[in-house]
Amino acid sequence: MEKKEELKQTPHHLITFFLILTTLFLIRTCTDQVNSRSIGFSDFKKELGHGNIKTVTIMGEEIKGEFKTAVNGKQRFSTTIVVPEIATLLDQYKVPYESFGTPQSWLHIASFILPLLLFGVFWYSIIRRGMKNLSGSSGFMSIGKNKAKIYVETDTKLTFKDVAGADEALEELKEVIEFLKNAQKVKVLGGKMPKGVLLVGAPGTGKTLIAKAMAGEAGVPFFSTNGSEFVEMFVGVGAARVRDLFEQAKKSAPCIIFIDELDALGKTRQVSPMGGNDEKEQTLNQLLVEMDGFDTTGGIIILAATNRPELIDPALLRAGRFDRQVVIDRPDKKGREDILRIHVKNVKVETNLKLEEIASMTVGFSGADLANLVNEAALIATREQASLVKLVHFTLALERIVAGLEKKNRLLTAKEKKIVAFHEMGHAIVGRAYNTDEKIHKVSIIPHGMGSMGHTIQTPLEDHYIITKDEIKNKLIVLMAGRAAESLIFQHFSTGAADDLMKATHLARDMVTKYGMEQSLGHVTYDDRPSSFLGTSSHYHQYLYSNETAREIDEAIKNVIWHAYHEAFIYLKEHRLKLELASEELIEKETLSAEELDIIFNTIEIKEADSTGHTAEA
């Protein structure tokens, strides 16, 4: 390997050497021209008569020499011989001279050709290197070669045992592996092996991991590439790479071709008056042709992954190309627990670590998020010089991921600290009463992240896939409880509720326009924007309802949020003693865990009961 690298570097060293020589040559030539002066032969004789000629060099009919004393600031001169008696004149005045005869023409030619040749070699090397980078291979002619990474059977080293939280998807993919292992088994009843399998899932759910596990499980070569690697600025390059990929796959069959981020390659073709991208369309057309052209009996499975299925061209998704579409969703509680169990294998954790509790705190986390959580917990434990990673480290890691990095240098004034404490405790008290299916995990008034002055972490007791109107209203009441607490105690509003208001507005708008939960507007959806798989939608949309309806929608959203705020205000007013005492504890300790909150709330509830009882007796 070292010899090959030396051979690759040798031409560059030679080019550098010749460039240095050429530069020195040009500098010498320019220096001579700057210091030299062309004079007539009569002036030469005149200076010769004055004894101002130091040395002379004769080259054919040209004379070059040096003055004893500079003339017009020039120390050197050149002239052309006119009379043949030059030697007699030089001898008469005792001036040394020498002659080289007729100059060789090849020297003049070389002085012009050599710099041009070297500069040509220099630019050729630059262009050649650029083509290497563009094509990802060894030369310009290989620009159409595919850039897929090829893994042999033993390279992936992953099986389905390394994948968790996607049991349904794995069950469906096991059948495809059986096709690869025993293609003849399918032919018994006349069935055909599917050509393509599309993995659809949010980022971080493990699509690429499952693809590699499939290759390791089946024990076949694995061609891994990305959709963007087929798209280049030159028309026809992407199509050539698609052809080359399938040609290599046919030679290695049975095998798996994995195309990650398929939406970069197979985006829906559109007719635009401004013109389209011919390169992308030709690449997509070539992929469609190749998927129609190869025979499934050869044992080639095309596996692709995307998190934007709504962008993919329908011709690519039809049966006969991608026959199966496997959705890999975010894991449920059991799936998260299984994923955590895999990731903590290489981490020194305490023996009685409750992975079930960590799984409960991480609702909505993907496999990549959970891997990051384990890593963050290990880093925090290392920073604290702990011998084992404990539950408290996972809690701190979760807080860092959700709320952001703790801002130790951001000091709040006493007034700001008090406002934030009452705000967060308002969320905690109302959340404890109205969100009974969620647990208040932690309340803190320590600044975190970008602009967050405090936070209240609530963790669901179980996963929910359907939410009712009452549950949405309860969520709105909890969101507005922070502002209600500020209004109750300080009789003013602050900017600390900005994030709460944004979340409440979005939730109320969905309740009114998307879910049809407002009686005055009927069981109608007014938001017909096609939402993407990732939950985002286009901001540019023409609403298909009248201005009067729009006004009713705005009023309905406003009323829903106002009623939530009013409900939270009334509840906190009835439990003002609890709000004040708990907020004082929060100001003193700055952070309260779930256990500390339970103790504080139980103690205060006993005091409230005693106070109410004494009042009744009186």
> What is the mean predicted confidence (pLDDT) over 336-355?
90
Query: For residues 341 and 538, which has the higher predicted lDDT (pLDDT)?
Result: 341
Predicted pLDDT of residue 481: 94
3-state SS assignment for residue 294: coil
What average pLDDT does the structure give for the chain?
78
Q: Hunting for tokens 């389905």 — which residue is that?
A: 160
Predicted pLDDT of residue 96: 67
Query: For residues 36 and 582, which has the higher predicted lDDT (pLDDT)?
Result: 582
Residue range 1-59, pLDDT digits in tens: 444 344 344 455 655 666 676 666 666 555 555 566 677 667 777 777 778 888 887 77
C-alpha to C-alpha distance for 354 and 555, rounded to whole angstroms: 47
Q: Hunting for tokens 């992954």 — which residue is that?
A: 305
300 neighbors 250 (Cβ within 8 angstroms): yes
Predicted pLDDT of residue 17: 63
Mean pLDDT highest for which of 114-123, 159-168, 286-295, 382-391?
Answer: 382-391
404: left (phi over 0), alpha (psi -120 to 50) or beta: left
Between 129-133, 462-466, 575-579, the lowest mean confidence (pLDDT) is in 129-133
Mean pLDDT highest for which of 153-162, 444-453, 491-500?
Answer: 491-500
Predicted pLDDT of residue 616: 38
> What is the mean predicted confidence (pLDDT) over 107-134?
63
Predicted pLDDT of residue 169: 84
C-alpha to C-alpha distance for 291 and 296, rounded to whole angstroms: 10
Q: Which residues contact 597 (CB under 8 A, 6 or more apart)?
A: 428, 432, 440, 443, 582
List the beta strands (DSSP E) in 229-339. Answer: 255-260, 300-306, 322-328
Query: For residues 148 and 577, which has the higher predicted lDDT (pLDDT)?
Result: 577
For the chain, give the percent of residues with pLDDT over 70.
71
> What is the mean predicted confidence (pLDDT) over 292-315?
80
Predicted pLDDT of residue 244: 85
Q: Which amino acid makes up residue 310?
A: E
> What is the mean predicted confidence (pLDDT) over 604-610?
72
Dihedral sign of CA atoms 32, 36, 40, 45 in order: negative
Asked if pLDDT for residue 377 goes beyond 90, the answer is yes
Predicted pLDDT of residue 618: 33
Predicted pLDDT of residue 422: 93
Between 3-7, 299-303, 482-486, 550-554, the lowest mean confidence (pLDDT) is in 3-7
pLDDT band for 311, please (50, 70, 90 cuts).
Answer: confident
pLDDT band for 559, please (50, 70, 90 cuts).
Answer: very high
Query: For residues 530 and 252, which has the higher predicted lDDT (pLDDT)?
Result: 252
Active site residues: 424
Instruction: Encode 483-501: b = buried (16+ Cβ within 10 Å), e = exposed.
Output: bbbbbbbeeeebebbeebb
Asked if pLDDT for residue 541 goes beyond 70, the answer is no
Q: Which residues contact 35 (CB under 8 A, 6 or more apart)?
A: 74, 75, 76
The DSSP annotation for 468-534 comes to -HHHHHHHHHHHHHHHHHHHHHHSS--GGGHHHHHHHHHHHHIIIIIS---GGG-S---------TT
pLDDT band for 274, please (50, 70, 90 cuts).
Answer: low
Asked if pLDDT for residue 564 goes beyond 90, the answer is yes
Residue range 67-120, pLDDT digits in tens: 888 777 777 777 776 556 666 776 677 776 655 544 445 555 556 676 677 667
Asked if pLDDT for residue 505 goes beyond 90, the answer is yes
Predicted pLDDT of residue 109: 59
For the chain, give the percent of residues with pLDDT over 90.
17
> What is the mean predicted confidence (pLDDT) over 278-288?
80
> What is the mean predicted confidence (pLDDT) over 396-412?
73
Asked if pLDDT for residue 506 goes beyond 90, the answer is yes
> What is the mean predicted confidence (pLDDT) over 329-349?
89
Residue range 256-270, pLDDT digits in tens: 888 888 888 888 877
Asked if pLDDT for residue 557 goes beyond 70, the answer is yes
Predicted pLDDT of residue 141: 46
Asked if pLDDT for residue 369 goes beyond 50, the answer is yes
